Structure 1
Amino acid sequence: MIQHLFNNFAVLTIEVLLGGWLLRKFTDVRPFIRRLFIGVISGSIGILLMLFTINLSNTVLLDARQIAIIMAANFGGLPASFITALMIALFRVSYFGVSTAAYLAMASAFLMAFATGWISTKVHRYTLKWLFMIGATLTISVFTIYLQLPEQALEALPAYAFFILACGIYSMLVLGLQQRVNEEHQIKTAFTSLAKVYYETKDASEIYAATLKRLMELFGAEFGTFCIIQQGQLLLVLRIEGGRQERIKRLVPEDAQSRQALRTRKSVFYTDWNRHRPHNPEDDELYRQGVRSSAQIPFFHGDKAVALANIGASKAGTFSVADEMAFSFLSPLIGMGIAHKNAEANFQIISEATSDAIVIADKAGRIIHWNRGAERMFGYTAGEVAGQSLTMIMPERYRRAHEEGYARAAESGTSTVMNKLIEMYGLRKNGTEFPLELTINNHDRTGFTLFIGIIRDVTVRKLVEKELRESELRHRRLIELSPEAIVVVTVGRIGFVNAQALRLIGASDENDLIGREVLDFVHEEDRDAVRHALQNVTLESEPLENWDSRYIRMDGSLIDVEIAVAAIPYHDQVGVMLIVRDVTERKQAQMKLEAANQLLTDLAVRDGLTGIANRRHFEERLTDAWAHAVQHETTVALLLCDIDFFKNYNDTYGHPEGDHCLKQVAQALEHAAAAAGEGALAARYGGEEFVLLLPRGNLEAALRAAGTFRFGVAELAIPHSTSNADDYVTVSIGAASLRAVAGRDPGDLVNLADRMLYRAKQEGRNQVIGAD
């Protein structure tokens, strides 16, 4: 019996060790396949254990098949334990035959599968879970033996219970030891593989993927996300789900779980999501996909958080606080590796993206880093300059001073040119020189002194500066020699004046004007307009040109000026430039010309004697009035007037008095025209005849105007002793009004008024006769 017991434990040891190893080898496969495989392996172990039985008596046999069911439940849960129980039950019937004992054995196997599978999902601590499962299987076995052999139960149960307890605890210890050894090995393997990946891989995104994969492999996770921390925000960069890898780049909200992990610098565990789990949209989706256990692992480099990994598994209890040791072992390496790769990637991005040359040299002045900007600037590739002296990119005249200064800086770590902007010349591969700006810094935190130079090609800038200086000189000369007065105003005060402006204002020195309000030199009536222009002109607006104003000279005299106003940049401010032209002489000449033009106009349209419109102007106005009336279908009215017995007046009083009489009558007619309304025109028609045009008048308006005119002439009371109409000068008036229609001539209106005038004379003169 002792020999059988030893053989059984030997088989049990081999099976436990081999089974545990095989089961862990298949942690990466899909959950269904993994549970099926666990059930089959555990069932095979159970069948093998059944073949190494121990005979307690002729009717009682002992075996450790329960251990196989417990192993299946431990590694695969309820599905795996049921598969194991099914294999054991089928082997029991096929090998030992169908009997009541066989049915009891099958029933007990399935009860054990259910009990151990349920315990494995509810209890997550390894030792406690195993003790509960051993106790459950022992209880079911004892009950089965009691039902099968009630008379021999008391005799067999102590030995059976001791055997099962011994096998169960032994398997628990062996598997536990194997698990701890395996975990330590996996941790060390993960550490070694990650260190190798960090050393060999240059792409930061590949580092993230390798880190997340190793963590998931190490702890049996099926879901995983990886976030890096940039400027205090979580940036999701990678997701692995069901073996499928997806690269992402989006910000994620920082929930309470991640805040706790980053604040405490410790991993946060949710052992069983069925009891307690994080609640946010992303975790809710993972819960629907089957995640039942998770861990959130922060990674730090020094005091700075650099990344956060989330891993999840479909089996509750996959992660627990006991895993913190493994996380804390790997965290420094992962944090340092990610921080290093992020810094390296950032440096690479900056180094390659900039158009400046970045050159790093060692203590001996040999080049050890040469970016693309340096390749473009100097014409050498990184391979051509690696290990070469910095003097190869310097003109000969700088090399000795450089070597002496570099030696002093390498010895003392300081230099007068450190962290300063230096202007010098560089030497290209083709032998040409070019101007550059250089900033030098040193770095010795790693124990090695490095000198970092940032070089900028300033060839274009130097050319622009030269052109700008030449342009400024040209403009300064143009402004100084300009025949126009130029004044620059900032915040309402004069900031610049040229020589012509001094002459214009009458100042002897520019200090008489600089700083003074420009409005002091503007005529009071023009100040509001000037002030508005100064306040509203902008760099974007169009200049104000040819704007007339009046300025006050230093001696108080006024000058007429023409101004152009535009905004310009001036001493880091927006200034207003005024180009002022003295137009006093031009204004005077213009006034004289306007007076001459007016005189010519008057001569053309005015009667030389009376000063009212002449016949030519009357006829032009009649034509225009008639055309307007035709267009609007209105009437035109006319008065044709004649001084009664004017020939007798001339013969009696003489031509000078006759001319004076004509002037007085013309003035009376002008007053009548003014009273008639806008557009009325009084004109001398010829000799002693006068005409009054009413462009929009009717006969009634014409008769009113005629009455006003007669009354005005009567008021003059000009004596006329030889008149047969009265003792004073009188007038006869013919009034006419016609509706203007197409095809009718305006002369018809004049003829009608002339006939009415003739009737007035025939009927005794000194009266008005009208017709329409």
Structure 2
Amino acid sequence: MQAWMISGMSLLAALAGIGGGRVTSRVVRDASKYKHAEEELQATRKAFATILREQHGLIFKFKKIDGKYRYTLADGKLYYSLGLTHSIVGKTMEEIVPERLHDYIRGNYDRAWSGECFQYESDFNDHIYLNSVTPIMENGVVTEVLVVGGEITDRKKAEQVIQESEDWYRTLIELSPDAIIVLVDSHIQLVNEKAVEVLGALRSEEIIGKTIFEFLHPEYRDLAIKHGHTIIEKRLTVQPVDSKIVRADGQIIDVEATGTRIMYNQKPSIFIIFRDITKRKLAEHQMQESNLLLSRLANLDGLTGIANRRYMNDKLEQEWVLAAARGAVPLSIVLCDIDYFKLYNDTYGHLEGDACLKRVAKVLDEYAYPSGGFAARYGGEEFLVVLPETDSAVAMRIAMELSYAVEALAIPHQASQAAEHVTISLGVATLQPSIGTPRELLIQHADEALYRAKTRGRNQMQVYSGV
């Protein structure tokens, strides 16, 4: 700096000798302009810092350094109201955020670092706030992430701020990662870039001035009119609802939308935030199908395809409680056992044994279903048939039908000492469930009846008599 000053003075002296006082005066003026520009730059920086500090929400930036997210900027009134200071700059997320939120916050930061724009909610020091995340890209690579957050525990304050200034509306709209439109008398008056994209247009001019009904699926027109009345006339905010939109290119998509009343150009208007949830809907549908499949697999026996023992226990418990609550309602079960099944396996092999189990299970379930019951694999070659609201006489008749149905399969069984084909032994039990009586007693009675059928020669039915 000192060398520069000496050099500069030498230059001035030279210029003075050559061109006289006019040259010296011009150089001095240029230096004065430089100093003035530098002062203006410092003032601008100071004003920008003041704006960041005085804005009602919070704003912070972070970078990923050595695998950890470090904060590079933090400011805003909400930021200070959370009890934070500038000391967090340079620190990692793990040093600032409570440990219980580490996985959640890290997951959101990972999304942002992958280039995704989105919003997420978080809580800190008894405050809940909504963060809008915008990755800063250079040459297609995320170099830093900007997060703008706002207090959402009092949404009314946000609504008042929106009503005070159309500039605030536009700022909010342009910064939002969600699609936003403003309707006046059902006509679209304002859109952001995300709305242009979601609605399948190339420019906002293709949308401005059109009615919302030109994009709304006909099935949702009446609901939209009802919501519009609720927002404008009743001054109520419509919470997120699912709808369908017909894009400008004709594609139908699912959206989630919420709306509230604002003043736009001194007119009552509807401020709508919506997002494309087509992929989410598809994922939810696939998830429902997967859950249904998993539920079925969890409740079905892997070999026979009928109910397994766990499902039987749960369902029997439900039927028992229901019958006990109604009072004087009988509940019957039939416990079945394939006669000499071990000898069947020894004679024909386990593959044929599995095939036999499947055929017997299928016919037991088919005959139980019309009576309002179901069959379940109880264990090995044993099956249990549950018959709700069925008295002993009807249960005995159904048990005999089950026995005949199995015999009708005519599955050869040379090793059986009961018949030349596969047969079953059956134990029938009936009780009127009550709150003080355990359901296990009903199974115990059926087991005793089955034992008696097996000891008396098999291929027969016995009914529990208590004797």
Common topology (TM > 0.5): yes
Say whether 1:713 aligns with 2:401: no
Say whether 1:484 aligns with 2:178: yes
1:738 to 418, 427, 431: 431
Alpha-carbon distance in 1 for matches of 2:226, 2:357 = 54
Aligned twin of 2:338: 643
Aligned twin of 2:452: 759
Alpha-carbon distance in 1 for matches of 2:299, 2:398 = 22
Aligned twin of 2:385: 692
Alpha-carbon distance in 2 for matches of 1:552, 1:697 = 54
Alpha-carbon distance in 2 for matches of 1:525, 1:729 = 58
Shift of residue 561 of structure 1? 1.6
Aligned twin of 1:582: 276
Aligned 1:337-736 pairs, distance under 5 A: 471-571=165-265, 573-634=267-328, 635-677=330-372, 680-736=373-429
CA contact (8 A) 2:335 2:446 kept: yes
Alpha-carbon distance in 1 for matches of 2:162, 2:276 = 32
TM-score, length-scaled by structure 2: 0.57
Q: CA RMSD in A?
A: 3.0
Name which one, 1 or 2, has greater alpha-carbon Rg. Answer: 1
Aligned 1:30-429 pairs, distance under 5 A: none
Shift of residue 694 of structure 1? 2.6
Alpha-carbon distance in 2 for matches of 1:538, 1:614 = 56
Alpha-carbon distance in 2 for matches of 1:490, 1:712 = 72
The secondary structure found in structure 1 opposite 2:359 is helix
CA contact (8 A) 1:539 1:567 kept: no
Q: Which runs of 5+ in 1 are unaligned?
A: 1-466
TM-score, length-scaled by structure 1: 0.36
Aligned partner letter, 1:758? Y
Aligned partner letter, 2:198? L
The secondary structure found in structure 2 opposite 1:611 is coil
Aligned partner letter, 2:179? A
Change (3 A) 1:559 1:709: farther
Higher-helix-fraction structure: 1
Describe the superposition over 1:184-226 as per-residue Cα deviations: whole angstroms up to 9, x where unpaired: xxxxxxxxxxxxxxxxxxxxxxxxxxxxxxxxxxxxxxxxxxx
Aligned partner letter, 2:463? G
The secondary structure found in structure 1 opposite 2:188 is strand
Aligned partner letter, 2:333? L
Aligned partner letter, 2:199? I
Alpha-carbon distance in 2 for matches of 1:725, 1:502 = 79
Describe the superposition over 1:502-524 as per-residue Cα deviations: whole angstroms up to 9, x where unpaired: 11122101222233343343345
The secondary structure found in structure 1 opposite 2:232 is coil
Alpha-carbon distance in 2 for matches of 1:714, 1:555 = 64
Shift of residue 690 of structure 1? 0.8
Alpha-carbon distance in 2 for matches of 1:507, 1:544 = 26
Shift of residue 595 of structure 1? 4.3
Aligned residues: 304
Change (3 A) 1:496 1:469: closer
Aligned partner letter, 1:585? K
Describe the superposition over 1:356-378 as per-residue Cα deviations: whole angstroms up to 9, x where unpaired: xxxxxxxxxxxxxxxxxxxxxxx
CA contact (8 A) 1:539 1:568 kept: no
Alpha-carbon distance in 2 for matches of 1:549, 1:556 = 16
Describe the superposition over 1:78-129 as per-residue Cα deviations: whole angstroms up to 9, x where unpaired: xxxxxxxxxxxxxxxxxxxxxxxxxxxxxxxxxxxxxxxxxxxxxxxxxxxx
Change (3 A) 1:520 1:473: closer
CA contact (8 A) 2:426 2:450 kept: yes
The secondary structure found in structure 2 opposite 1:562 is strand
Alpha-carbon distance in 2 for matches of 1:723, 1:522 = 71
Q: Which runs of 5+ in 2 are unaligned?
A: 1-160
Structure ranking higher on relative contact order (CA contacts 8 Å, 6+ apart): 2
Alpha-carbon distance in 2 for matches of 1:613, 1:468 = 58
Alpha-carbon distance in 2 for matches of 1:483, 1:659 = 58
Aligned partner letter, 1:656? L
Describe the superposition over 1:460-506 as per-residue Cα deviations: whole angstroms up to 9, x where unpaired: xxxxxxx9997321221111221111123344443332211111122
Alpha-carbon distance in 2 for matches of 1:598, 1:730 = 35
Alpha-carbon distance in 1 for matches of 2:218, 2:409 = 48
Alpha-carbon distance in 1 for matches of 2:229, 2:346 = 73
Q: Structure 1 stretches (4+) deviating beyond 6 angstroms?
A: 467-470
Change (3 A) 1:732 1:558: farther
Change (3 A) 1:683 1:572: same
CA contact (8 A) 1:519 1:531 kept: no
Aligned partner letter, 2:204? E
